[in-house]
Amino acid sequence: MALRGWAQRGWGCGQAWAPPAVGGCPELSAAQAPRLLGRRFNSFLQQKCGFRKAPRKVEPRRSDTGSSGEAYKRSALIPPLEETVFYPSPYPIRTLVKPFFFTIGFTGCAFGSAAIWQYESLKSRVQSYFDGIKADWLDSIRPQKEGDLRKEINKWWNSLTDGQRTVTGIIAANALVFCLWRVPSLHRTMIRYFTSNPASKVLCSPMLLSTFSHFSLFHMAANMYVLWSFSSSIVNILGQEQFMAVYLSAGVISNFVSYVCKVATGRYGPSLGASGAIMAVLAAVCTKIPEGRLAIIFLPVFTFTAGNALKAIIAMDTAGMILGWKFFDHAAHLGGALFGIWYITYGHELIWKNREPLVKIWHEIRTKKGGGSK
């Protein structure tokens, strides 16, 4: 009612303006009004009468609510996030700028490091050959110890294929991170750095770290079993160094695809797991050997070709991404699979076979550092 009376008074020529009391402000006399019509009028009303408009704040967004207000159904594969608050950007497209450049930069560094690693491995292989001959000779004249634990471990290690030895370190890293999830005091840190979410304040490092992160034991066991099963084939196709570059790059690329899908649909939520990277490995092997026979672990009698398995997986993840299924991060699966198909078809020729200039630069640096010896 007070505001209605204020609006009805009007602004007459030479007419004193006296607003009624609002919020405890006293009425102004005709002598006081002209002095307040100057420069300090607005600040007076703001400070005394409370007419200042409150700035608009971006409300934080909890992870358990979707953009449409529906309850977010948490997958059993991700940790509980009831107390976690995420802050989606008011400009979602800008959220993807840093992850985009991080994806490009990390992928380039991964393949560059792999090329240098291969160079160093080839250089040390000759020395390792002579060291192996010397070790065999010493073992032949050294008395053998029965029940030597170190010897048994070395025997088991040497019985593994190159691919299995390569992925052993990846499996160990995943097991370590899984154990860290069981420590309650590390829960917030693990959510911040080991789950990828475009609504989180930390965007880039989780794209890599979440590739080694599993909250569910079943999730980790299934992923590591698939990785172990395909390790020999993928390392025989690509080699140890190139495989590591593809695996790590696929993990980051699949998370970036997941970011894009979440920003486009507005369905924010955390993701974790090595599934995106493993899908790249699986897709690469199935593309290279489409007639290979595969089987499900629980149904070993039922077999199918690798090409048909890849088509079924891509169809399922495409449907899951379009329909919004939330049990898996289908966008990350699809991104990893498409990267694996692209790399085995075109990427190997475009990237790995053009590594020679980088290797020459590294060779020159090593030559100068070694005092000119080759």
Task: Provide the annotated active-site residues.
Answer: 275, 333
107: left (phi over 0), alpha (psi -120 to 50) or beta: alpha
The whole-angstrom separation of Cα 79 and Cα 184 is: 12
CB atoms within 10 A of CB 81: 19
**Selection from 102, 86, 81 nearest residue 206 by Cα:** 102
**Selection from 284, 115, 274 nearest residue 207 by Cα:** 274
The whole-angstrom separation of Cα 147 and Cα 96 is: 56
**Selection from 221, 199, 194, 197 nearest residue 210 by Cα:** 194
The whole-angstrom separation of Cα 30 and Cα 97 is: 59
- The alpha carbon of 9 is separated from its chain's Cα centroid by a whole number of angstroms, namely 63
Kindly write down the DSSP assignment for every residue of 306-354, as one continuous string: HHHHHHHHHHHHHHHHHHT--SS-HHHHHHHHHHHHHIIIIIHHHTGGG
Q: Hey, what are 247's tokens? A: 């695996």
**What are the two backbone dihedrals, phi and then psi, of residue 72, each rounded to the nearest 5 degrees?**
-85, 120
DSSP secondary structure code for residue 301 in this structure: E
**What are the two backbone dihedrals, phi and then psi, of residue 18, each rounded to the nearest 5 degrees?**
-135, 100
The whole-angstrom separation of Cα 42 and Cα 251 is: 56
Evaluate whether 259 touches 196 at the Cβ level (below 8 Å).
Answer: yes
Evaluate whether 346 touches 288 at the Cβ level (below 8 Å).
Answer: no
> What is the number of residues in the chain?
374
Output Rg (C-alpha) for the chain, integer angstroms: 32
CB atoms within 10 A of CB 284: 31
**Selection from 229, 142, 213 nearest residue 180 by Cα:** 213
